[in-house]
Amino acid sequence: MIQLDNVSKRYRRKQVLDPFSLTIQEGSSIGIIGPNGAGKSTFLKLIASLEKPSKGALSYEGQPYKQVVKRVRSAIGYVPQDIALYEELTVGQQIAFWKKLEKTKVDDDFLKRMVETLRLDEVMDQPVGQLSGGWKRKVNLCVGLLKNPSICLLDEPTAGVDLAAKEDIIAWLKELHQQGKTLLYISHDWYELRKLSDEYLLFAEKRPVFQGTETALIRQKEELLQSFDEQKDLRRILQHL
Ligand SMILES: Nc1ncnc2c1ncn2[C@@H]1O[C@H](COP(=O)(O)OP(=O)(O)O)[C@@H](O)[C@H]1O
Ligand SMILES: [Mg+2]
C-alpha cells in the first residue's frame, strides 16, 4: 500500500499540485485521466520517488518513503511519457543494455513472456531508430518493466501508437494485473481505461478530484462538472461516460 498524505508540489514559483491525500491499494489497477497540465505526470514521478513533494509525505507499506527509498525503487517500474531509447541499438541490444544496468537480476522467464506478448521478437534485430512509433513505445515499455516490478507506473504507455500495438500493450498490462501487480497508468482513451482499470483517478486543476469505480464516477459526474464549470476539458473527458 502506498499513501500520500497532504502532498503538494511546486517548481520554483509554479504550484503544480495542490495538497491532496490518497491511498493506493496493493494489486489495484488504476487508470489516471485528466486534462493536460493537471499534474498527472508529476503525480507519477512523486510515487516513483523521482521527485520529492514540496510539502506532505509519502509512505510505502506504512514506512515513510525517506526511510525505505531503496525498497520503493526496487518495487517500482516506471515507464516515462517521453521515449528514452538509444536509436542506433537494435531492440535486442537495447534490452541487453538495460538489463545489464538493472541492480537486481532480471527474471528471464518474465522477460521472455513480456517480449512474446508485446511481439518484440519480430523486431529484435532492427535498430530502434528505424521502428515506427508503436514499436518504439513497446520497447520503451519493455525496458521500463525489465526488473519485474510489483508496482508498474506507466505514463501514457499507448500515446500515439497504432491499434495493433495498443492491443499488444493492453494485453500485457492485463496480464501484469492478473499476476497481482499494482498498476497505475495515465491515458486519454476510455476504451483502454475501461479494459484495464478497476478504479479511476481523475485529475483537474492541479489535484486528484475523484478516485473510485466507473459507477461512482458516473454518479458524481454532474457534481464534478458543476464544481469545475470553466473546465471545458473536463467536460470533454466526462462526456464519454
Ligand atoms: N520540471 C518542471 N519544472 C517546472 N514546471 C513543470 C515541471 N514539470 C512539470 N511542470 C509543470 O507542471 C504542470 C503539470 O505538468 P504535468 O504533471 O506534466 O501534467 P500532465 O501530465 O497532467 O499533463 C504543467 O503546467 C507543467 O508545465
Ligand atoms: Mg503528462
Per-residue model confidence (pLDDT) at position 228? 77
Closest by CA to 211, choosing from 12, 7, 31, is 31
Cβ(187) – ligand 1 distance below 6 Å: no
pLDDT digits (tens, 9 = 90+) for 171-191: 999 999 999 999 999 999 999
Per-residue model confidence (pLDDT) at position 240? 83
Atom of ligand 1 nearest to the CA of 36: 23
Ligand 2 centre to CA of 86 (Å) is: 22
Ligand 1 atom 8 nearest Cα = 42
Ligand 1 centre to CA of 213 (Å) is: 26
Q: Which residues of the chain have pLDDT under 50?
A: none
How many Å apart are CA 195 and CA 138, to the nearest integer? 18
Domain spans of the chain, in order of start: 2-238
Look up the CATH superfamily of 2-238: P-loop containing nucleotide triphosphate hydrolases (3.40.50.300)
Cβ(41) – ligand 1 distance below 6 Å: yes
pLDDT digits (tens, 9 = 90+) for 90-138: 999 999 999 998 888 889 999 999 999 999 999 999 999 999 999 999 9
C-alpha distance across the termini of the chain, in Å: 29
How many Å apart are CA 180 and CA 151, to the nearest integer? 9
Ligand 1 pocket test: which of 13, 41, 50, 207 has the largest number of ligand atoms within 8 Å of its C-beta?
Answer: 41
Ligand 1 atom 9 nearest Cα = 42
How many Å apart are CA 97 and CA 75, to the nearest integer? 20
211, 201 contact by CB (below 8 A): yes
Ligand 1 centre to CA of 15 (Å) is: 9
107, 62 contact by CB (below 8 A): no
pTM above 0.75, yes or no: yes
CA atoms within 13 A on the CB side of 111: 14
How many Å apart are CA 211 and CA 184, to the nearest integer? 12
Cα-based distances in Å from 238 to 34, 38, 215, 224:
9, 15, 13, 9
